A and B are shown apart, each in its own frame.
Chain A
Amino acid sequence: MSDRLQIVTGKGGVGRSAVTAAIALDAARSGRRVLASAMTDSIGLASHFGLETLGYEPTRIEPNLHAMVVDRAQSLDEYLKMQLGLGKRIPLLPLSRSLEALSETVPGIRDVVTTGKLYHEVRSGNWDLVVADGPPTGQIMSYLRASRVIASLVVSGKAREQADAMTNLLAAPGSSLVMVTLAEELPVTETLEALGELADEELIALRTIFVNRTVEALGVSESVLDDVDDVAVREAGQMHRALYENQKHWRGELPEHVALPLLFGEHDPTAVADRLASAMSS
């Protein structure tokens, strides 16, 4: 069964958007038609494609690769009107604004409607794979549960239909969750907590755990290192060694995962995404 939808999650600061962009680039470069989608804030994902923001319609990034953002007021309005069978020009109190007002009080309503747009793209037949830069790890479970919560609050209407469609989409073969973490205490702990809940609730399949910014072993023994005269060489070596040991400890807490490299001195967002994509394909 090949992938159709991958939702990427990770704690703030672990490089979730970079990994999302890299997954999309890697898949597109192996010949699949790919849509990369930001769920809320598009700035992070856009920067890895060399753009400032993303539009609410798929825009071409490179051969086989398009990108968009699902959660923008205008796109929601159009989407809702389309769902309700209303003309685009009907002057109405913006539906998205009402929805925004309600989303503070009705858990998951926004998630369900924005996922509706994603669902639409997955079903459109335009893409072999849709990769979504999803909510942070701390919110991923409430995001994944949103459709069931809405189904329990709302007995009828469009939101209920959307909710059921979302539940089915997430559970369908080909849909999966990708987790991004660092080999440090807090992100690993959050990842393990989410994994536990994921296993209990069977909302979506787990695809891959990426451990970002890992270093390889120094390859020099501690005794050799401690005898080095040059202070900078010794201290850089000792630091690398300690970092490697600490990362090894936290990686040991995780189940099977894919390690992505720490890119020393490389911080340009497009170059980072490129290099992570190369690391994924090798």
Chain B
Amino acid sequence: MTDVVLVAGAGGVGKTTLAAGIAVSAATSGRRTLVLTVDPARRLATALGLKRLSNVAHPNPDLEELWAAMLDAGASWEAIARRHAPPEVADRLVASRFFDAIARQFPAGAAYAAAEEMAEQVESGSWDLVVIDTPPSSGGIDFLSAPGQMRSLVGGRALKMLTGGRLPGRKSFFDHATKPALRLMDKVLGGGLLQDVGEFLFDLRHTYDGIEKRSKSIATHFEHAHMVLVTTTDPSPMAEVERFVAERPGNTRVPVIVFNRTLPQEWIGATTTETNRRLVENLARWSQESAHQDAVRSTWRSRHDRLTMVEVPWRSETPNEIEALGSLAEPIWARLGIGD
């Protein structure tokens, strides 16, 4: 049985670093662990034994049982098309001038591609644990809704919107394209573009059955996954975590909330007999920041007293060595209680 850890959080909160750290902790405890990462900084990628842009699992040179792979959304989309559409349709899709745009721009696409990769890896039976550093999604950090959004994309949402509600047949769509509303779109877009888009979207529908089936197994993995939500005390990542907690489907596990970059509480209101003016002022500055963090966390705690909260200390420099990553994330790993 493979355990799954989903690490989610807004951009810039240190999610990728902590996902790597959790994987290091797991591998250190002897579990064969894969971390699927999205866009690691170069030094982190190096520490993980990753070469840039490789979605093949690489063993770590320094830590046995630790493997890492990087998700490449573009390559994954081609794999998705080839997995779920008949070969000649997949060829047409991949060659289309619209394919690249969908691969790079559809907001939930990278998250869905990651979810498929997660499912493939979990079902391979090769791992005790798979840690996923979730890519950004349209609903902010809402990784869980990606399969649904993907189904609605390939299921013809755009076609329905273009014709006003019902999914049209191929023939009726192109008949429709001569009607006033779509003629107006043609006026905006220039002749012919709408026809080409329509052809592409009908081809894309061929992937629907496959993606629907895959979504079901992905949903099962999500239900069993341990969830880690990373935030700082800044308002915008906090808002994303609030939303995630409020909208979490009832059949998924209660997430562990990680407050990253926590300053020492001992600094708050600390008095000192130190005489160096610069050092005293410096403590006062950092003490203010620490007090602010503390107030934000207290408010959170009073509103979500049933959620597990982990505080990860602030580091002036992002840790990039295996050992430092592991010790940073150790308290999170301990709270997950995997294998206890």
List the interface of chain A (C-beta within 8 A of B).
Answer: 11-14, 44, 47, 80, 83-84, 92-93, 95, 97-102, 104-107, 109, 136, 142, 153-160, 182, 184-187, 189, 218-220, 224-225, 228-233, 235-237, 239-240, 242-243, 246, 264-267, 269
Contacts and interface: CB of A to CB of B under 8 A. Distances in A.
B59 interface: no
Given A12-B11, A154-B189, A264-B288, A237 B279 contact: yes
B292 A267 contact: yes
A282 to B, nearest CB: 19
B274 A228 contact: yes
B279 A233 contact: yes
A101 B162 contact: yes
B161 A185 contact: no
Size class of the contact patch on chain B: 35 or more
Closest 8 CB pairs of A and B: A13-B12, A265-B288, A12-B11, A157-B190, A242-B316, A101-B161, A107-B101, A101-B158
Interface stretch (B179-187, B215-223, B300-308): B179-187
Contacts of B274: 228-230, 233
A232 B158 contact: no
A231 B188 CA distance: 67
B42 to A, nearest CB: 7
A13 B291 contact: no
Given A185-B42, A189-B41, A230-B273, A105 B101 contact: yes
A104 B105 contact: yes
Contacts of A236: 267, 279, 282-283, 286-287
Interface string B162-190: 10100000000000000001101111111
Interface in B1-47: 10-13, 39, 41-43
A265 B291 contact: yes
A114 to B, nearest CB: 14
A93 B235 contact: no
A104 B102 contact: yes
Interface string B121-149: 00000000000000010000000000000
B190 A156 contact: yes
A241 B237 CA distance: 27
A189 B318 CA distance: 15
Given A101-B162, A220-B278, A237-B282, 13 more contacts: A12-B10, A13-B13, A98-B182, A102-B162, A102-B189, A104-B105, A104-B158, A220-B279, A225-B279, A230-B274, A240-B286, A242-B316, A267-B234
Contact of A153 (B97, B185, B287): B97
A54 B233 CA distance: 25
Interface of A is mostly: helix
B41 A185 contact: yes
A35 to B, nearest CB: 23
Contacts of B234: 13, 267
A267 B106 CA distance: 33
A267 B278 contact: no
Nearest to B296: A267
B83 interface: no
Contact of A264 (B153, B162, B200, B289): B289
Interface string B218-251: 0000000000000001111100000000000000
A157 B317 contact: no
B337 interface: no
A194 B279 CA distance: 39
Given A104-B153, A242-B317, A218 B158 contact: no
Nearest to B201: A105
Contacts of A239: 286, 314, 316
A243 B282 CA distance: 13
Nearest to A80: B188
A243 B10 contact: no
Contacts of A99: 188
20 contacts: A13-B236, A99-B188, A101-B157, A102-B158, A102-B194, A102-B197, A104-B105, A142-B104, A157-B186, A157-B187, A158-B187, A182-B12, A218-B278, A230-B273, A233-B270, A236-B267, A236-B279, A236-B283, A264-B285, A267-B235
